[in-house]
Every structure is written in structure tokens, then in C-alpha cells.
Structure 1
Amino acid sequence: MTQRFSLTTRLTLFYTLASATVLLGLGWVTSLAMNQHFEDLDRSLLEDKIHLIQEVATKANSPQDLQNRLNEVLHSHEGLIVHVQISGKTLYETAKFELPNGYAGAVGTDLKSQKMQSWQSAGHQYRALGMLINSELQNDEPLAVWVALDTKLHDHFQTHFQTTLMLYVTLATLFSGVLGWMAANRGLAPLRIMRTRAQAVTSNKLEERMPVEAVPVEMADLAGTLNDMLDRLQEDFRRLSEFSSDLAHELRTPISNLLTETQVTLSAKRSNEDYQDVLASNSEELQRLARMVSDMLFLAKTEHGLALPSRESIAVEVEARALFDFYEALASDKDILLELVGSGTVGGDRLMLRRALSNLLSNALRHASPGTVVSIEIQSGEGVEVTVSNHGPSISPEMLPRLFDRFFRVDKSRTHPESDGAGLGLAITRAIMAAHGGGISVTSTSGVTRFTLRFPKSESLVQE
């Protein structure tokens, strides 16, 4: 299994490796520059000695005179080796040494064009230059002059310098690693703060947030995104808690009614008619539970994206008139007039559209004042808007955003003698509109409440 390193360790290792690379590169460049510098110095020294020998050779009267003169000018130069030949015979030499193979015949009269040779012999490193010098000593034969320099002093200095440099690079790399760890540890401190805050978030403590202002700019976006996520989680958790409480309350009432009525009936002998009445009452409660469960299953599907069972072109005014026929008796009992204005065609599922309109129409009839008008107004344009309005008590503005929550009722007493609904109608309507690619909104001012359904263009919906 591959070992996982912390981000601090990774940054420290990266910083240490980068520092070591830079320091080693700097040391390598320095060594190259120093070696080139010594090479230039050695060549300059060798050229000076050749010029000196050339000057001495022009003044010498005989080979013996040349030897004497060279002894006088060269005896004090430590590490310098001079070898002079004439006609293949050694005329003068300061010490015995062997020229590298092929070098003896590689000399010419142009000193600048001569390549400085380097070689090792008997544990010593040499650099040498050679040149042919014109002379009048022996039948105008040129002198073959080789000047070599033992570079042991340079080598000793470079070896000492490289050892010191490696020691410095090693210590500097370790020091850089420590600094890198301190910088990474300090730089990642905001992440540890964020981790601590995140660990403090529990189901009972969702108000913790990331310190956006206290973290570097690079982490501010992450902290802000996490705060947004926590806001959504807190809101969803609140809604889920309320939903669970409401669901338990809604289920408790019919179950309690069923249990109480059944226990009372079984407590004594009853006639067949009494049993039939109890069963009929239980059937109503069970039907209400079944509708509630069906609605909950429908809403659960919307959490994962509700797909339309079928798509077709629907004339909204036709569906509205069919609903008017169904609710006409209820409207007459409450002395309410039903009114339809406009027409329009939408694309979608007919049964789902009728259910959405039915939820709004039944809700409008339930809360409309006697002697008023409940209207459905249809407008066509960029899309189709269907507005269901009624006259009655206004809904407070703070309640409007929550009307589409599950089990939410403006009436907190939960007493609804005129309806057996569970407070899911508007939530289902919003889910149906979302499935159609539209939306729903509500306004309530001056005693008039309006629910507006907005459908997209039929062409765009069919193309999806």
C-alpha cells in the first residue's frame, strides 16, 4: 500500500528538493567558472613564458649562452617545466617529463592558434603549450619549445573549495528544509482551522462557518463555497426536521382515530349496523392515509427529477372548463361564481396539468369569501401563464415563501373541517411545474390572492 504523505510533508520535500537543485546548480556553475578562470590564468602564464623564451633566444649567441640565460630567468618559477629542442635534440630542460602522444609534432609558429594540452602523469595534472621559435643558433633551425605547468596548487584549491561547497550545500539544504516545513506548517494553519470548524459541525450544531476573512485569498473561495454548502445543509436539515415532525403529526391523527374507534367498538358487543358504520368511518381514514402516502411517493420522485409520463398538446381552457363542471356544486354551495378568461396551449402531461389546476382551484374555493368570484385567467405570449385568483383573507408576506413547503398551512391550529388535505397540494403543484420546465408564484394583496403557473413555449418543451 502506497504511503500517503501530508500536504505539509509534500510541500517541505518539494521546497527542499527545489533548494537542493538550485544550490547544486549554483555550485556546478561556480566550479565551471573557477576551472575556466584557472585555465585562462595558466594559458596566460604559459604564453608569457614562451614569449620570454623567444626574447632570450633572440639574444643568445650560442646554445650554451641560451642555456645560461634560460637558467637565470626560469630558475625561480616553481612548477614550471620548460623543454627546448633543436633539430630533434634536447637543448634545454628544467625537468624530465613526457609529452602526451602526438603533441610533440603538433606545435606551430602561431601561438594563439595553439591548443593548450592537459594530461596526467605520475599523479600530477599538467597543462602545456608549444611553439616553434626562429633562431640563428644552428643553421637557422627553429627551436621547438614546450612549456608545461604543474597545476597541483589549483587542484588542491579546487578540491578544498568543492568539499567546502558540498558541505555548505548540504547544510543549506537542511536549513531550507526546516524553513520550508515552518512556512508550509504556518501557511496551512488556516486549513487546520477550517478542519476544526468542520469537525464541530453536528446535527445539533449547524451554525458553524468557515473563517472567510481569516484565511488567505487562495482559500477564501474554498471557505465561501463550504459556507454555502453548510447553509444549504442547514436549511435542508431544518426543512427535513419540520417535515418529519409534520409527517408524524399528520399520520398520528388518522391512526389515533382508527385505533380509538376500533378499541371503543371492540369494548362491547355491537349490532351489524354499528360495525358497518365503524368500518365505513375507518375506510374514510384509510383512504385519507392512502392519499397522503401516494402524495408523498409522488413528491419523493421529484427529488430525483420527475419525468413526464406522456407529452401532448393541451388546451388549458378545455381542462379548466372540465374542472369547473366538477367544482360547480361546491361553488354554488358557497355562493361563488367561477370565471374563465383567455385560452392557451401548453405541452405536457394532461393528468398532471389537471391535477395542478385542481389543487389551485380547490384551494381558491376553500378560502374564497361567499359572494365573490374565483377566476382562471390564461395568457399566451413567450409562454403560457395561468392565474387562479380568489377574493378572501390576505396571506401575510412572511408566509408566502413557505406556502409551497410540505405540510405547511397558514392555519397553525391544523383544524381544517372543510378539507381532508394534508398540506401537500401546493408542494405537488410546484413539483408538477418543475417537471414541465415552468414555475409557480403567488401574490396576496388587498384581499386578492393569485397563484400563477408559468409554462414554457410548447415547441421548446417538445424538443427536449
Structure 2
Amino acid sequence: MTPPRSPSLTLRLTLLFALASAFVLFLLGLLIGNAVERHFEEQDLDVLNGKMQLARHILERDPGNQPNETLTQQLDDALTGHHGLIVAVYDQNGETLYANESMVFPQDLLTTRTTPRREQPFKWSTNDGLPWRGISSTVKLGTDGGSSYTVVIATEISHHEHFMTSFRQTLWGFMSLATLAMGLLGWFVVRRGLLPLLAIKRQAAEITANRLHTRLPVEAIPRELADLADTLNGMLSRLEESFQRLSDFSSDLAHELRTPVSNLLTQTQVTLSKARSAEDYRDILASNAEEFERLSRTISDMLFLAKADNNQIIPSQEPIDLAEEIGDLLEYYDVLAEEKSIALSLSGSGQIVGDRLMLRRAVSNLLSNALRHTPSDGGVTVQIDKYDDGLTRIAVENTGSEIPAEHLPRLFDRFYRVDSSRLRTTESSGLGLAITRSIVLAHGGNVDVCSTNGVTRFTLLLPTSPSR
């Protein structure tokens, strides 16, 4: 079953943009709504405080011996022209001293008997659903501090509530449309912003095995995607190099195997063309055996390199005296060196932990290669040095013609030869240096080559302690 695909980047960015816009607009709506409501509250409080000051002034001027009708008349005169405003005065026993209209006030508004002053607005709704806002305060009758009275002033705020309801509906409707518009705008912006990415996609889709040389134009790509383009170009460069090496390897392998197989086939066909003596058959079989041995060595080397490429080579860990091992190899090659009048020498000493047979093979490949390319009366020198950083160096130098600099990076490639004609010889299959590098890498080391001033030097850097 195919797993569900994740949402597109365009959809995710659009949703994030819309959510961010909705959050900002929501906070803005709350801020505006609270500000308008606070404005109306302050406006109502100004009116209520003004009437409270007027009522307090009237009550505090009362000497206390005037009839209630006089006080009632003064309060009525003060409230003339103020519709929707209710004023009530209660004595200490809760009896109504004055009320311009009948109103049942909430008990919380009448708590001035325990709280001397309550001038913060209190909001409530009556049974008929009308909203009110009011304040209350305790006033001493007369200037000599006579009886205390509770004055309650309230105003009906239904017009404010209607306005706020309509305002909130309009505000949140606008916010919803704005969020939708911001989402659509975000989708458009994201689509426009991702056009360079779509261009990269189209250009990458055009890259095939035959067009690995194509590169993405970094200069025409926004700065945020330039690193991605550089990474893709680097990947294409590595793929092109690997593909070219694989193509060259396939060609070289076919070339290496074609010659011995062709020789075997031709020689066998010629042998079978007519009857021959037993001695002739013996000579032909011996010649075929040499070709088969060469094929066997090539196939064995290829299997070794294939294991190395897949990290299947696990070197054994044993102490190795490099001077002793390399000295034995020099004795083995001494006869060949004498035939070509080549001087062999060894200097230095060192001990490492690794696979004895593998390291002998790696150094033997270097010595064989050096002897093959050293002219008569030349010299091959092996130098062993131990470094303080835990590395041991084995340098194999030989005199002779220098290797052109352009060939040095590819000397360790399989079947690679400096000779462009790639002539096949019985001495080399073109895999020795590649095997040497694989062995050194398996031991956690490195290999290098340089060729200057008539001297070619191959250097093996190996860790002294066992590799992990």
C-alpha cells in the first residue's frame, strides 16, 4: 500500500500564513473592541459621576430640617432633561427617600453600607432585558455630618449595547474576510516565491545519464536557494565523476578480459583445425594455462576490490615489524633489481598493528611498480618514519622519468595507465595501485603520490595502533 503523501509546501506555507494573519487580526479585533467598549464605559461614567456630584451637593447643602418634598423637588429639578437616567436615595434603614423612577437595583450596587464609596461602574440587566450601568455612593446629609444616605445613579445603555453588537459583527465579519483574503494573497505569494524551486525541479528532471555535465544556474536563483543549488551541482559533479569512472572501468575491464579470451579462442580454434602431436598439444595447453592464470589473477583482484568497496575487508590485528617485512620483500626483488642494475635500499624502522599479508601485498605492489619504471643504474629507496601523531610513514621512491601532473590523481584508479595506448603487458594488469589503496584505507590510513625532480614517491600513512 502506497503511504499517503505529505501536504505540499505551498499548502503548508499558505495555511501558516493564514493562521498567522488570523491570529494577528484576532488580537487586533479584541484590542479595538475593548477600546470602543471602554470608551463608552468612560463616557457613561462621566455622566454618572457628574450627576453623583450634583446629588451630593444637594444633599450636603440640606440642613436636615427641610421637608422631604423640598429635597425631592431639588433633585427633580437637577435631573430635568436627562432621560434614561435613574437616581435613588436610600436612608440608613434601606427606605427609599427619593427615586425619580421605580427600579429594583442589584444588591451588589447597594453595598455602600459596608463599602463607603462605590463609584466604579456596575453593569446589570433588568428582567425586561434592558442593560444598565450605575454607581453608588454614601453621602452625609447636611454640612454638620448628619444622617448617611446611599445615592444610586444608573443609566440605560441599550443604545451602546446595540452599537457594540453591530460593531462586533461588522468587525469580525471584516476580520474573516481579511483572513480569507490574506490566505489567498499568501497562496499567490508562496506560488510566486516557489517559482525558482519549480525551475530547479524542471532543470533537474532534464538531467539524464547522458547530460550529467548540466549544472543548475546558481546566479539566477534567489540567495535562499543558492546553497541548495550548489549542493545539487556538487552532487552532479560527484555523479558525473563516478559515472565516468564506472564507464572507464567497464571499458578497461572489457579490454583486459577480451585479449586473453581472444587469444585462448584463436589458439584453440587453430589447434582444432588439424591433427597435432602430443607435444604440440602440451605446448598449447601450457600457453592456455598461462592465460587462465592471468584471468584468474585479474578476477581475484576484482573480487578483492569489490569487497573493499563494500567494506567487507576486515584486516587482522597483529604486530608487524616493518623493517623486517620490507627487508624480506627487498630480498625477493633483489634478483630482478640486479638484472636491471637497480640499487635497492631500506632505512628507518617502525612497528604497527595490522594484517601482515595485506601490508606485504600493498608494499610489494609499490616495489614491483617502482622496479618496472626505474631505468638501469637507477635506484629504489624505502624509507620508514614514525611520527608523534600516531602515524607511521612508508615512502617508496624510485628514480626515472616523472609522471605528468594530470595523471597523478588517477594513478590509483582501476586499470588506469599513464600510457594512453593502454598496451597490455604480462607484468601488470593495472590493478596493483588500486589494491594498495584499498588495503591502506582498510587499515585506516591514506596513500599519496608525487613525482618531481626525476623522483617518484609513493607514500603510505598507516596508524601505529589498531584501527577501530
Length-normalised TM-score, structure 2: 0.89
Aligned position for 1:36:
38
1:248 to 225, 246, 254: 254
Q: Does 1:153 align with 2:159?
A: yes
User: Is the alpha carbon distance of 1:102 and 1:162 closer, same or farther for their aligned partners in structure 2, counting shifts above 3 Å?
Assistant: closer
Contact kept, 8 Å, 1:116 with 1:129, in 2: the verdict is yes
The answer for unaligned runs of 5 or more in structure 1 is none
1:67 and 2:75 equivalent? no
Deviation (angstroms), 1:103: 4.5
Matched, 1:343 2:344: no
Deviates more, 1:435-444 or 1:169-178: 435-444
Letter paired with 1:400: L
**Superposition map of 1:313-328 within 5 A:** 313-328=319-334
Does the aligned pair in 2 maintain the 1:84–1:91 contact within 8 Å?
yes
**Whole-angstrom CA distance in 2 between matches of 1:183 and 1:98:** 60
Q: What percentage of aligned pairs have identical amino acids?
A: 47
8 Å contact from structure 2 (residues 444, 467) kept in 1: no
Q: Does 1:357 align with 2:359?
A: no
Q: Does 1:462 align with 2:466?
A: yes
Task: Note closer, same or farther for the CA distance 1:411–1:242 as it changes in structure 2 (3 Å cut).
Answer: same
| SS of equivalent to 1:82 | strand
Pick from 397, 404, 407: which aligns with 2:405?
397
Match of 2:277 in 1: 271
Counterpart Cα distance in 1 of 2:108 and 2:424: 118
Q: How does 1:15-34 map to 2 (within 5 A)?
A: 15-34=17-36
Are 1:373 and 2:379 counterparts? yes
Unaligned segments of structure 2, at least 5 residues: none
Code of the residue aligned with 1:305 in structure 2: it is: N
Indicate the larger mover: 168-177 or 188-197: 188-197
- Structure 1 stretch displaced more, 291-300 or 442-451: 442-451
One-letter amino acid of the counterpart of residue 51, structure 2: K
Contact 1:108-1:114 at 8 Å conserved across structures: no
Paired residues of 1:337 and 1:371 also in contact (CA < 8 A) = yes
Aligned to 2:441: 434
Q: Which amino acid aligns with 1:63?
A: N
2:165 aligned with 1:163: no
Shift of 1:101: 4.1
Matched, 1:78 2:83: yes
| Structural mapping, 1:17-416, within 5 Å | 17-57=19-59, 58=61, 61-85=66-90, 90-101=96-107, 103-104=109-110, 106-108=111-113, 112-121=117-126, 122-135=128-141, 143-305=149-311, 307-382=313-388, 383-416=391-424
CA RMSD between the two structures: 2.6
Q: Which amino acid aligns with 2:41?
A: E
Aligned counterparts of 1:238 and 1:77: Cα–Cα separation in 2? 97
Distance 1:359 1:131, change over 3 A: closer
Q: Distance in 2 between matches of 1:65 and 1:55?
A: 15
Question: Could you tell me how far 1:109 is from its partner in structure 2?
Answer: 9.9
Instruction: Using the TM superposition, give the Cα deviation of residue 160 of structure 1 relative to its aligned residue in structure 2, in angstroms.
Output: 1.7
Aligned CA distance change for structure 1 residues 3 and 428 (closer, same or farther; 3 Å)? closer
Moved more, 291-300 or 52-61: 52-61
- Letter in structure 1 aligned against 2:290: E
| SS in structure 2 of the partner of residue 399 of structure 1 | helix
Bigger shift: residues 13-22 or 299-308: 299-308
Give the Cα–Cα distance (whole angstroms) in 1 for the partners of residues 216 and 22 of structure 2. 37
The CA deviation at 1:358 is 1.4
Q: 1:75 to 1:360 in 2, by over 3 A?
A: same
Distance 1:462 1:168 in 2: 74
Is the 8 Å Cα contact of residues 82 and 94 (structure 1) preserved in structure 2? yes
Contact 1:359 1:426 in 2 (8 A): yes
CA separation of 1:233 and 1:3: change in aligned 2, threshold 3 A: closer
Residue number in structure 1 paired with 2:460: 453
Q: Could you tell me how far 1:80 is from its partner in structure 2? A: 0.8
Q: Which amino acid aligns with 2:420?
A: K
Q: Normalised by the size of structure 1, how large is the TM-score?
A: 0.89
Deviation (angstroms), 1:290: 0.8
Which whole-Å deviations, capped at 9, do the CAs of 1:181-230 have from their partners, x for residues lacking one? 22222222232222222212211111232333333443333322222222
Give the deviation of 1:152 after TM superposition.
0.7
Distance in 2 (alpha carbons) for counterparts of 1:441 and 1:178: 60
| SS at structure 2 position matched to 1:49 | helix
Say if 1:257 and 1:83 are closer, same or farther in 2 by CA, change over 3 A: same
Superimposed CA distance per residue, residues 316-364 of structure 1 (whole angstroms, 9 cap, x where no aligned partner)? 2322332233223323333333333333333221111211121122222
Post-superposition shift, 1:9? 1.1
- Work out whether residues 343 and 379 of structure 1, in 8 Å CA contact, stay in contact via their aligned partners in 2: yes
> Does the CA-based 8 Å contact 1:288-1:420 persist in structure 2?
no
Residue 155 of structure 1 and its aligned partner are, at CA, apart by 0.6
> 1:279 corresponds to which letter in structure 2?
L
How far the C-alpha of 1:296 sits from its partner, in A, is 0.8
- Equivalent-residue separation in structure 1 for 2:211 and 2:289 (angstroms): 43
For 1:146, the aligned partner's letter is V
Cα gap change, 1:354 to 1:82, in 2 (>3 Å): same
CA contact (8 A) 1:107 1:114 kept: no
Aligned AA for 2:404? S
Cα 1:59–1:373 shift into 2, 3 Å: closer
Matched residue type, 1:181: W
Query: Residue type of the partner of 2:347?
Result: V
Aligned length: 456
Distance in structure 1 (CA, Å) of the matches to 2:189 and 2:170: 28
Amino acid at match of 1:397: A
Deviation at 1:385, TM superposition (A): 2.8
1:142 CA drift (Å)? 5.0
Q: Cα distance, 1:425 vs. partner?
A: 0.6
Query: Conserved in 1, the CA contact under 8 Å of 2:130 and 2:158?
Result: yes
Q: Retained in 2: the 8 A contact 1:109–1:131?
A: no
Distance 1:395 1:241 in 2: 24
Structure 1 distance, partners of 2:349, 2:234, is: 43
SS of residue matched to 1:450:
strand
Match of 2:428 among 407, 421, 424: 421
Q: State the 1:242 CA deviation.
A: 0.7
